[in-house]
Chains A and B, each alone.
Chain A
Amino acid sequence: MERVSRVVCIAALILGLAGLAIPISMNIASVGGRATAHAESATAEVKIDNFTFTPATITVPVGAQVTWTNRDDIPHTVVSDDQAIKSKALDTDDKFTFTFSKTGTYTYFCSLHPKMKGKVVVQ
């Protein structure tokens, strides 16, 4: 499952960079072979390490599930600048998942350590 997620993420990134309107499911099928043919299955991961969101910017298709994992010893949050997305405080190894159902650029930050910023581009 972990491997598939990574493949989807990479596929999404390639799509994003190329600006192609190829359905994401085709890429998954051709590379991973195990994923179902739905865009909803697209996932992406953001790690929180040392007061930093990594990667700071991710590009995903509409319907993608993005999961943040806090790997710090200090709690963090994921809050969009417009406050529409708001996680609870994430303790060490806690996760927060959000499904992006509309295209757009979502900038977010940690409301406890607001110097921590990230961006999700949904295409």
Chain B
Amino acid sequence: MSHSTKKDEILHDHNHDGIDRRGFLKCMAWAGTGALCVMQGGVLKSYSLSRLAAIGEKEAKGDLSFVQISDSHMGFNKPANPDVAGTLKAAVDKINALTLPPEFMLHTGDISHLSKAEEFDAVEQILKSAKPKDIFYVPGEHDVLNDEGAQFRQRFSKGSNGAGWYSFEKKGVHFIGLVNVMNLKSGGMGNLGAEQLEWMEKDVKSLSKSMPIVVFAHIPLWSVYPEWGWGTEDSAQALGYLKKFGSVTVLNGHIHQTMQKVEGNVTFHTAASTAFPQPKPGSAPGPGPMKVPDDQLRGLLGVTDVKQAHGQHALAVVDSSLG
């Protein structure tokens, strides 16, 4: 028994790309329970915060560190989590407890459940107590209901382009915030659109290929599970513009669980929700909120802490549960 379990944990690298599907699936199963998932030989390292204390923060110390939170769904009040404000506050506490304060935060969308002003207000109020003062947002489909995202842009991405996309640099790392929740087509998945792709191509054209790139968007930019729409129709084109770069990290939300994947120069991560978990791909009839026993809920919610190690381009991504 222990032998077969161990065997499952080994990453068989058939494609010599640093990842094995079986190992990957095993990794997904661990992630939700806040267990450690390490991919050796890849471009990133990932620790749970509880393990981080044992390993020592030295290893995860870097020139740049930031935190990703996602899917706060403020306003949601169903049995899967009747207190989304409480769990968001718990996420903030977790962030504030980090010994090395992150420089800023990314929120990868679904800030609100129904795009209501009071929901956005509540999230802004709670996040004011976070130590990192700069927060960069991209919208989820729940943030652009009924107004094509006008309120979202007014509050969270003033001065951005088009539907709310933008880029910025922090300590030699180029960040690109994309919007893939607008103008979705029947039968399709997430969508970036021609205008955004054109902007992105220009945005990265003059950058040095040695510059680390971090792309963040709500819906995964890789096909996690197309049957549930967990992917982005035209993501291949976007990732095509990033081929010349040595280190590309893609951070997404939307699927309310942590997953990781390495493909060539690109490392993909999805963050847990601070509100409620969703089922693993195909494990339920649909992707709706998953009701788990109350004592397990916080173990399935979380924050992601990302550090860029000094002198290397790899980003260390740390997933932490709220439990």
Interface pair A50/B285, CB less than 8 Å apart: yes
Contact of A95 with B by CB under 8 A:
no
Enumerate chain B residues within 8 angstroms of A74, measured Cβ to Cβ. 288-289
Contact of B118 with A by CB under 8 A:
no
User: B187 touches which one: A51, A89, A115 (CB < 8 A)?
Assistant: A115
**Bound Cα distance from A72 to B142, whole angstroms:** 14
Shortest C-beta distance, A92 to chain B (Å), equals 7
Contact of A107 with B by CB under 8 A:
yes
Supposing A112-B184, A114-B229 touch, asked if A75 and B113 sit within 8 A by C-beta, the answer is yes
Against B, the Cβ 8 Å flags (1 = close, 0 = not) of A97-108 are 000000000011
Contact of B188 with A by CB under 8 A:
yes
Interface pair B141/A112, CB less than 8 Å apart: yes
Shortest C-beta distance, B233 to chain A (Å), equals 10
Shortest C-beta distance, B259 to chain A (Å), equals 19
Enumerate chain B residues within 8 angstroms of A108, measured Cβ to Cβ. 186
Against B, the Cβ 8 Å flags (1 = close, 0 = not) of A61-75 are 000000000001111
A88 to chain B: closest residue by CB: B146
Shortest C-beta distance, A114 to chain B (Å), equals 4
Interface residues on B, range: 20 to 34
Contact of B304 with A by CB under 8 A:
no
B78 to chain A: closest residue by CB: A73
Contact of B228 with A by CB under 8 A:
yes
Supposing A75-B114, A75-B142, A75-B145 touch, asked if A111 and B184 sit within 8 A by C-beta, the answer is yes
Interface pair B187/A117, CB less than 8 Å apart: yes
Interface pair B288/A81, CB less than 8 Å apart: no
Contact of A113 with B by CB under 8 A:
yes
Supposing A75-B142, A114-B229 touch, asked if A51 and B287 sit within 8 A by C-beta, the answer is yes
Residue among B76, B114, B185, B229 with the most chain A CB within 10 A?
A: B229
Q: For chain B, what secondary structure do more than half of its interface residues adopt (helix, strand, loop), or is it mixed?
A: loop
Interface pair B189/A114, CB less than 8 Å apart: yes
Contact of B80 with A by CB under 8 A:
yes
Enumerate chain A residues within 8 angstroms of B189, measured Cβ to Cβ. 114-115
Supposing A114-B185, A114-B188 touch, asked if A89 and B288 sit within 8 A by C-beta, the answer is no
Shortest C-beta distance, A103 to chain B (Å), equals 21
Q: For chain A, what secondary structure do more than half of its interface residues adopt (helix, strand, loop), or is it mixed?
A: loop
Supposing A51-B287, A52-B286, A74-B288 touch, asked if A115 and B78 sit within 8 A by C-beta, the answer is no
Enumerate chain A residues within 8 angstroms of B288, measured Cβ to Cβ. 50-51, 72-74
Contact of A40 with B by CB under 8 A:
no
B229 to chain A: closest residue by CB: A115
A112 to chain B: closest residue by CB: B141
Contact of B180 with A by CB under 8 A:
no
Shortest C-beta distance, B165 to chain A (Å), equals 19
Interface pair A113/B229, CB less than 8 Å apart: yes
**Bound Cα distance from A50 to B288, whole angstroms:** 7
Shortest C-beta distance, A34 to chain B (Å), equals 37
Contact of B227 with A by CB under 8 A:
yes
User: A109 touches which one: B142, B187, B285 (CB < 8 A)?
Assistant: B187
**Bound Cα distance from A25 to B219, whole angstroms:** 48
User: B286 touches which one: A50, A92, A112, A114 (CB < 8 A)?
Assistant: A50
Enumerate chain A residues within 8 angstroms of B141, measured Cβ to Cβ. 112-113
Contact of A91 with B by CB under 8 A:
yes
Enumerate chain A residues within 8 angstroms of B229, measured Cβ to Cβ. 113-115
Against A, the Cβ 8 Å flags (1 = close, 0 = not) of B137-148 are 000011001100
Residues of B within 8 A of A (CB): 76, 78, 80, 113-115, 141-142, 145-146, 184-189, 227-229, 285-289
Residues of A within 8 A of B (CB): 50-52, 72-75, 81, 88-89, 91-92, 107-109, 111-115, 117
By Cβ-Cβ distance, the 5 closest A-B pairs, closest first, are A51-B286, A50-B286, A109-B186, A89-B145, A73-B78
What are 23 A-B residue pairs whose CB atoms fall within 8 Å in the complex? A51-B286, A51-B287, A73-B76, A73-B80, A74-B288, A74-B289, A75-B113, A75-B114, A75-B145, A81-B186, A89-B115, A89-B145, A92-B78, A109-B186, A112-B142, A114-B184, A114-B229, A115-B187, A115-B188, A115-B227, A115-B228, A115-B229, A117-B187
